[in-house]
Structure 1
Amino acid sequence: MKDGPNIATLAALIGDPARANILTALMSGKALTASELAHEAGVTAQTASSHLRKLEDGALIARRQQGRHRYFTLAGDEVARALEGLMGLAATQGQLRTRTGPKDQALRTARVCYNHMAGEMGVRLYRAMQDRGTFRTTHSGLDLTPEGYDFVRDLGLDPDGLPPSRAPLCRECLDWSMRQSHLAGRLGRALLSRFEDLGWVARVPDSRILRVSRRGEKEFGRILG
């Protein structure tokens, strides 16, 4: 096909193992330095610099300058959503790079998906919110019902006061390990931040894993029923 989006170029960018490792590392939602990404990719700093330049030229990552330091992030929610979809497809097709181990189980229990909560806890939370009648379907996607507003406000968040963004308020995101949806969008981002502020979950350093505290287990148990 001569006309239309050129998916071959993007596929080639993502398809390189080192670049795929770089993009996966940035799915934590954190801004990382070139040296940190070189370590994640298992390549030299010079090679990582070449890969980062290609990913930046392809609009898959963005560079941020903080004083003398340079950091890299994913270019936006659309990139994160595409990567999560590819992870789900790879898992479905059995394309796993390592055998399941303790770290993999922790990732499946609760993890960061760019800027919202994923894994078993994320899927169960989204399902519980659906059961409570939190969402309604509109022509543009998902929106909160009056019951949904009450639920979110009970958690200490004001849905109308969330930071403005091009991202929708609520969006489904397919979970690669559970093969079901969890919540993304501005609300998904705000909920993860709120859970962290409350001490219900904490990020494991240098990982996408979310560790659920004892208090978090109790509170999530109350929400999940």
Structure 2
Amino acid sequence: MSQVAALFADRTRARVLTALADGRALPASVLAAEAGVTAQAASAQLARLLSAGLVTVERSGRHRYYRIAGAPVAAVLEALARISPAEPVRSLRQGTRAAALRAARTCYDHLAGRLGVQVLQGLLDRGALVATDGVRTPRRRAGDGLAQQLRNHPYRLGPAATDVFGALGVPPERLAPATTGRPLLRACLDWSEQQHHLAGRLGADLLTGLLGHGWVERPPTRRAVRLTPAGATALSRVLGVGTEAARPEPAHRA
């Protein structure tokens, strides 16, 4: 455990892993820019992460594209973000990026942040999901681990699941229970909101649907996502989600 933990302790490696935490594959040049180091330094750290099994690599033409090894690695990053002290905001740009991450971001391959929590609330309100413990909110339950995918969660598909998820771009056949592989329904305790957001295969399909409709936009190298005007209208209509859910908080120069 100490050997793996040490890989997260280096600033460059931590920034590289954070850049990959949304599940996309990025080239070493982009990761070097994200980490603020030379290409040579980034390649050296990527080699260590690759050797430890925390990232995978795929060659395409002359380039090598790196990807985080899976959801467990992303869960460790989310947990560390929750217990780590906030980095001092020294510029307006830093403050804006931090606020954007809290407002709406990807957590591996599903939606997180304030928008992710509000979407889960909307799914409960519209009957697409039902809370088996009778609590009709995504609030943290007793025993929930901090900032991680939960082993047990209180949600199941509701009577309106086909209609509501279909309106969000998830085909009906994707609502079938998983017999093998990734579970259909999972929940994460969001590190910034300390409430649940939707994970699992259904969470990934939901984000894919929102992106496909153009309701959410994802910049090429950032975890923060943006709710488009069309998306704000659609989520308000389908889920009753207010436009303030994904609006970044005002940034203040430190």
TM-score by length of 2: 0.76
Deviation at 1:16, TM superposition (A): 0.8
Gaps of 5+ in 2: 134-150, 242-254
Q: Distance in 1 between matches of 2:221 and 2:152?
A: 36
The residue number in structure 2 matching 1:3 is: none
The residue number in structure 2 matching 1:4 is: none
Relative to structure 1, the CA distance from residue 51 to residue 125 in structure 2 (aligned partners, 3 Å threshold; closer, same or farther) is: same
- For the pair 1:154 / 2:167, whether they are aligned, the reply is yes
The residue number in structure 2 matching 1:13 is: 7
What SS class does the counterpart of residue 26 from structure 2 fall into?
coil
The residue number in structure 2 matching 1:176 is: 191
Deviation at 1:168, TM superposition (A): 1.5
Q: Which shows bigger deviation, 14-23 or 79-88?
A: 79-88
Deviation at 1:136, TM superposition (A): 5.4
Deviation at 1:208, TM superposition (A): 1.5
Deviation at 1:160, TM superposition (A): 3.1
What SS class does the counterpart of residue 146 from structure 1 fall into?
coil
The residue number in structure 1 matching 2:88 is: 98
Query: Would you say the 8 A contact 2:169–2:213 is kept in 1?
Result: no
Q: Which shows bigger deviation, 170-179 or 9-18?
A: 170-179
- For the pair 1:128 / 2:153, whether they are aligned, the reply is no
- For the pair 1:144 / 2:157, whether they are aligned, the reply is yes
Query: Would you say the 8 A contact 1:19–1:51 is kept in 2?
Result: yes
Deviation at 1:140, TM superposition (A): 6.6
With a CA cutoff of 8 Å and minimum separation of 6, indicate the structure with the bigger relative contact order.
2
Query: Would you say the 8 A contact 2:162–2:175 is kept in 1?
Result: no
CA distances 1:127-173 after superposition (whole Å, capped 9, x unpaired): 22233441455997554233323321233422533798832212111
- For the pair 1:207 / 2:201, whether they are aligned, the reply is no
Query: Would you say the 8 A contact 2:169–2:206 is kept in 1?
Result: no
The residue number in structure 2 matching 1:69 is: 63
Q: Distance in 1 between matches of 2:189 and 2:152?
A: 18
Report the number of matched residues: 215
Query: Would you say the 8 A contact 2:21–2:74 is kept in 1?
Result: yes
Gaps of 5+ in 1: 1-6
Q: Distance in 2 between matches of 1:162 and 1:46?
A: 45
Q: Distance in 2 between matches of 1:34 and 1:170?
A: 33
Aligned residues with identical type, % of pairs: 43
TM-score by length of 1: 0.85
How big is the alpha-carbon RMSD for the aligned residues of Structure 1 and Structure 2? Answer: 2.4
Residue 20 of structure 2 is aligned with which of 26, 38, 51? 26
Q: Which has the higher helix share?
A: 1
Query: Would you say the 8 A contact 1:124–1:224 is kept in 2?
Result: no
Residue 57 of structure 1 is aligned with which of 36, 46, 51? 51
Query: Would you say the 8 A contact 1:159–1:187 is kept in 2?
Result: no
What SS class does the counterpart of residue 173 from structure 1 fall into?
strand
